């Protein structure tokens, strides 16, 4: 059995407290993770502070650790400061920080085309221009 590490995760929701989750590895504060919250999976950040005492049987596992650098310590302190200064829930301030979850996903692959084989028998002016551009051997996107 792998050892479980307990982490406090702040979720981008109107709450000021962290939730406690289990992880198969230690996660430093600021690590962006996906965790279960009720029936859905939400994105949150491992937060500073001591996790709540929860019975090991009740702990839910971190679903995913995003391949992104952790939030800097200065940003974590800034989120806490803004929440205190504006009397807002820390989760709502974190929501502004994690506003674009698409930024955490890997970039989509771009389909490219290269010149392969002999040129067609019938060459129109448009085909000739395309072949001239593609003769350098590099891959080009369709547009």
Count other Cβ atoms within 10 Å, centred on residue 43. 19
- Whether residue 70 sits in one domain with residue 16: yes
Question: Is the dihedral angle over the CA atoms 63, 66, 69, 73 positive or is it negative?
Answer: negative
Question: For the segment 76-99, what is each residue's pLDDT rounded down to a tens digit?
Answer: 999 999 999 999 999 999 999 888
- Whether residue 70 sits in one domain with residue 129: no
- Whether residue 128 sits in one domain with residue 70: no
Count other Cβ atoms within 10 Å, centred on residue 63. 13
Domain count, the chain: 2
Q: What pTM did the predictor assign?
A: 0.69
Domain limits for position 17: 5-104
Higher per-residue confidence, 103 vs 59: 59
- Whether residue 123 sits in one domain with residue 98: no
- Whether residue 136 sits in one domain with residue 93: no
Residue 126: pLDDT band (50, 70, 90) is: confident
Residue 31: pLDDT band (50, 70, 90) is: very high
Nearest partner of 91 among 11, 6, 5, judged by Cα: 11
Q: Does the pLDDT of residue 56 top 90, yes or no?
A: no
Please tell me the number of Cα atoms within 13 Å of 24 on its side-chain side.
5
Q: Does the pLDDT of residue 39 top 80, yes or no?
A: yes
Q: According to the model, what pLDDT value does residue 113 have? A: 77
- Whether residue 65 sits in one domain with residue 11: yes
Calculate Rg over the CA atoms of the chain: 24
């Amino acid at each position: 059995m792998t050892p479980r590490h307990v982490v406090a995760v702040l979720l981008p929701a109107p709450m000021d407290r962290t939730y406690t989750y289990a992880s198969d590895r230690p996660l430093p504060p600021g690590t962006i993770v996906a965790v279960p919250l009720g029936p859905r999976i939400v994105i949150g950040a491992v937060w500073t502070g001591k996790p709540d005492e929860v019975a090991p049987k009740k702990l839910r596992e971190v679903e995913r650790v995003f391949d992104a650098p952790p939030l800097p310590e200065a940003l974590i302190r800034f989120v806490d400061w803004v929440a205190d200064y504006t009397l807002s829930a820390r989760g709502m301030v974190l929501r502004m920080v994690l506003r674009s979850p698409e930024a955490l996903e890997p970039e989509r692959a771009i389909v490219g085309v290269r010149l392969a084989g002999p040129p067609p028998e019938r060459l129109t002016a448009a085909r000739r221009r395309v072949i001239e551009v593609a003769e350098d051997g590099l891959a080009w996107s369709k547009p």
